[in-house]
Amino acid sequence: MLYVVLLLKLTQGCLNHPDYPLHISSRSLQTGPPVPEPDWRSIRITPYYINNTSSLGDIKSTFIPLAIEFYKKVLKIVYNGDIYITSSTCSGIEVPDTYHLTNTSTDVIILITYDENSETGAWAQPCECSEDIGMRPILGRMHFQGTFESMTWEQKQALCIHQLAHILAYDARLLPYFLGKIGETYGIDQVLGYTSRRNSQISYLKTPKLIEIAREAFQCNNLYGLDLENTFSEKSTSLHWEKRIMNNDFMVADSNIYYISYSDISFSIFEDSGWYQVDYSYSNNILWGYHKGCEFLIDPCVEKSNYMFNEFCNTSSSISLCDHSHTFKGNCNMGIQSSPIPAQFQYFSDVFIGGNDSFTDFCPYVKPETTGSCRDIGIENTIINTVDYGENACDSCKCLEGTYVSQFSTMSVHWHAGCHQITCEGNVAVVHVGGEVVFCDPGGGEVTVRGYDGYLICPSSDVLCKDLPCPFACYGNGKCVNGQCDCYSGYSGLYCDSGSMIRGLEWIALVVLVVN
């Protein structure tokens, strides 16, 4: 079991869970000749609440059921009949008699516990895998603690989907049992690798579908694996992506993210386990680092105080900028830290200056303003300046930067971000500024606007005309198709929020919750 020690990953501040053993069971249930074709069916996940979980509120009543329904749509398993739990304990708690040594008509049982009087957070891990079904997990524990009142709808949904992923595939102890195309186990050396990159020792996953999708997403044909979070610990077996590379993906360790992405990269691990068929229509392409090449994965984010990719920044927090998705106005999170930044993450001459987020290796990037949503779906109403900048907030609006200021304004020309409606005609983006329109070159560049001094910077059409993930993942009430929510029966609205339990739109809370 030496590989467990080598695999353990944890990010600073993550909730630790004890290193409980993973139980392997076998009953040899197959009788008669083998089934000619696998019978793939939607996965059935059964939750069981162990203790007084009533204080979990909507985590229990809404978001755990939504997460279970999410995986029911996304994942299929080979049906082998009932499962049979042989383990008497699961991550330190007793398995209820209801499920112990009993045939149960489900595919996975999740034991859910809650501690109201502890630091807010959550963790999850698998407890038992069945040898009869290719070592697929059939039992796990999901633990919540503290209060989740400050979290938004989007964050709660991602929290529960994230935790279930740890039981289904994202746990280091499961990696040696991942299956190849003919049912052979890969072995740990075929799944996990180690190297030195960006002045740090890192570990990475290197499974086939992951490499295929990530190479296309980052446009890096030499990619041989994707980095896991870069701080080691012997206190957790949970696997997370390195946030500096996968910033707002649902499988990073930090929940202080917004516009959460359910990427095809993260979905690929379920397929690569060999246990699941995956419906990728419920996933989306990454935005962060999209088509930035191998350099984005290898090189420092900032060199000689200059940012190397436009996902990052190096300016004062007082200057308005656009975030990486170009859907929010925000500010660079660069600041003075309370202690020297670790040497490998020092990008500026002052060892105290860097990004405020340790999960991104202290790389500074634009964090949204609570009033900065160009689509006007923020927790606060979007503030726009129609007089000086000709701004607008709408579903098709995006964020652009420049020095442009109305010739009727009392302001002088200065750098700022602004929200503007974008319409795309083929690969040409049309930007609406006040009552004027400008046409952007597909490759991007500076344009001037009639009636405005200064200039506006057009990103490339790949940015302005690219379909984006649907906000709030369509509230779990629809599927995102070409950037638009296709609502299920009984739901309607731009984001499928009508006809459901939703009470208003919100996207980010100014809290930091780390998920393990």
Q: Count Cβ atoms below 10 Å from residue 196 Cβ, excluding itself.
A: 8
Amino acid in the structure at residue 77: I
Q: Which helix (H) or strand (E) holds 270?
A: helix 264-272
User: Annotated binding residue at 414?
Assistant: no
Residues 376 and 382: beta-carbon distance below 8 Å:
yes
Element (H, E) at 458: strand 456-458
> Helices in 95-250 by DSSP H: which ranges?
153-168, 208-218
- Check if the beta carbon of residue 343 is closer than 8 Å to that of residue 361: no
Residues 36, 64 contacting (CB under 8 angstroms): no
Give 235's strand partners.
none
Beta-strand relationship, 121-130 and 23-25? parallel
Cα–Cα distance, 310 to 314 (Å, whole number): 10
As to burial, measured by CB atoms within 10 angstroms (0-12 exposed, 13-18 middle, 19+ buried), residue 256 is middle
* C-alpha of 4 from chain center: 25
The DSSP secondary structure of 103-132, one letter per residue, reads EESSSEEEEEEEETTS-SEEEEEEEEEEGG
Greatest Cα pair distance, the chain, in angstroms, is: 85
Task: Report the distance separating Cα 174 and Cα 179, nearest Å.
Answer: 10
Residue burial 260-274, b: 16+ Cβ < 10 Å; e: rest: bbbbbbbbbbbbbbb
Residue 456, CA distances (Å) to 58, 312, 440, 445 in order: 44, 20, 10, 8
Strand, coil or helix: what is 475? helix
Which residues belong to the annotated binding site? Answer: 240
Which residues belong to the annotated binding site for Zn(2+)? Answer: 240
